[in-house]
Chain A
Amino acid sequence: MSDPTPIKEAIVPVSGTRRLSWFVVVNIVGELFLTAGALILLFLGWQLWLNDIIVGSSQNDAASALSQQWSDSNSTPSPSASFAASPSIAAPIVLPSKDAPPVIARPAPSAAFANLLVPRLGADYRRTISQGVGLDVLNDSAAGIGHYPASQLPGAVGNFAVAAHRTTYGKSFHDINTLVPGDHLFVETKAGWYRYVYRNSVYVYPTGVDVLKAVPQMPQSSPGDRIMTMTSCNPFFSAAERIVAYSVFDAWFPRSGGVPNELSDLTTSKGK
Chain B
Amino acid sequence: MYAALWRLLPGPLWVRVIMAIALVVAVLTVLVLWVFPAVDHLIAPQEVTVGP
A36 contacts partner chain B, Cβ-Cβ < 8 Å: no
Contact of A207 among B39, B44, B51 (CB under 8 A): B51
Asked if residues B1 and A206 are in contact (CB atoms below 8 Å), the reply is no
A239 to B47, CA, bound (A): 6
- Given A47-B36, A239-B44, residue A206 in contact with residue B50 (CB < 8 A): yes
The residues of B that contact A166 with a CB separation of less than 8 Å are 46, 48
A93 contacts partner chain B, Cβ-Cβ < 8 Å: no
A10 contacts partner chain B, Cβ-Cβ < 8 Å: no
A263 contacts partner chain B, Cβ-Cβ < 8 Å: no
Contact string against A for B residues 13-50, beta-carbon threshold 8 Å, 1 for contact and 0 otherwise: 00000000000000010011000100111001111111
Asked if residues B49 and A231 are in contact (CB atoms below 8 Å), the reply is yes
Asked if residues B46 and A233 are in contact (CB atoms below 8 Å), the reply is yes
Minimal beta-carbon separation of B22 from chain A (angstroms): 18
Minimal beta-carbon separation of A141 from chain B (angstroms): 10
**Nearest residue in B to A236 (C-beta to C-beta)?**
B46
Minimal beta-carbon separation of B40 from chain A (angstroms): 6
Chain B interface, number of residues (Cβ within 8 angstroms):
19
B10 contacts partner chain A, Cβ-Cβ < 8 Å: no
Contact of B2 among A1, A51, A211 (CB under 8 A): A1
Contact of B1 among A31, A138, A167, A232 (CB under 8 A): A31
Interface Cβ pair total, 8 Å cutoff: 72
**Nearest residue in B to A244 (C-beta to C-beta)?**
B50
A163 contacts partner chain B, Cβ-Cβ < 8 Å: yes
The residues of A that contact B49 with a CB separation of less than 8 Å are 133, 146, 148, 163, 206, 231, 242
B52 contacts partner chain A, Cβ-Cβ < 8 Å: yes
Chain A interface, number of residues (Cβ within 8 angstroms):
42
Minimal beta-carbon separation of A136 from chain B (angstroms): 11
21 examples of A-B residue contacts, CB within 8 angstroms: A2-B3, A39-B31, A42-B28, A43-B36, A47-B36, A47-B40, A135-B41, A135-B45, A138-B48, A163-B49, A165-B46, A165-B48, A169-B46, A173-B48, A204-B50, A206-B47, A207-B52, A211-B50, A212-B50, A231-B48, A242-B48
By a beta-carbon cutoff of 8 Å, the part of chain B in contact with chain A is 1-3, 28, 31-32, 36, 39-41, 44-52
Q: Which 7 A-B pairs have the closest CB atoms?
A: A239-B47, A31-B1, A163-B49, A1-B3, A46-B36, A133-B49, A163-B48
